[in-house]
Amino acid sequence: MIYLDTSAALAELLAEDRKPDPSIWSQPLVSSRLLECELWTRLHALKLAASHGDAARELLASVSLIALAPEVLARALEPFPLAVRTLDALHLASIEFLRGRRQQVTLASFDERQRAVAWRLGIPTLPAA
């Protein structure tokens, strides 16, 4: 399954030059419920909620969102192999939560810092091209 980070979701929604490979949309997608909040916050900040709202809802409907369970929050409080930002810690902790339940998860992200930490944790990442 593919863990969809906000950077990849926004790149797709905003038709940025760098977008996720189209093949990921045919695979099972998962993310933290945090994705929903980050997407809408960014769309509102850019004043794009009206023009991109339907696409955002469609994208979110294709992703299984997992709750920020106590185990996820507890892991996010622990150290990571490199310094991470708060929201990245929550995303990475969510991936580790899934992997702890024997799920094979690959990260889709354009955030180089997050990708570097994922690599150190043994989390596979999709190419960032």
**Residue 16 included in any domain:** yes
Paired tokens of 89? 């810690």
Tens of pLDDT, residue by residue over 8-53, are 999 999 988 888 989 999 999 999 999 999 999 999 999 999 999 9
- What is the model's pLDDT at position 17? 87
Domain hosting residue 42, numbered range: 2-121
CATH number, domain containing residue 67: 3.40.50.1010
What is the pTM assigned to this prediction?
A: 0.95
**Residue 127 included in any domain:** no
- For residues 49 and 40, the answer to whether their CB atoms sit within 8 Å is yes
First to last CA, the chain: 19
Tens of pLDDT, residue by residue over 49-69, are 999 999 999 999 999 999 999
**Residue 129 included in any domain:** no
Grade residue 127 by pLDDT with cuts at 50, 70 and 90. confident
How many structural domains does the chain have?
Answer: 1
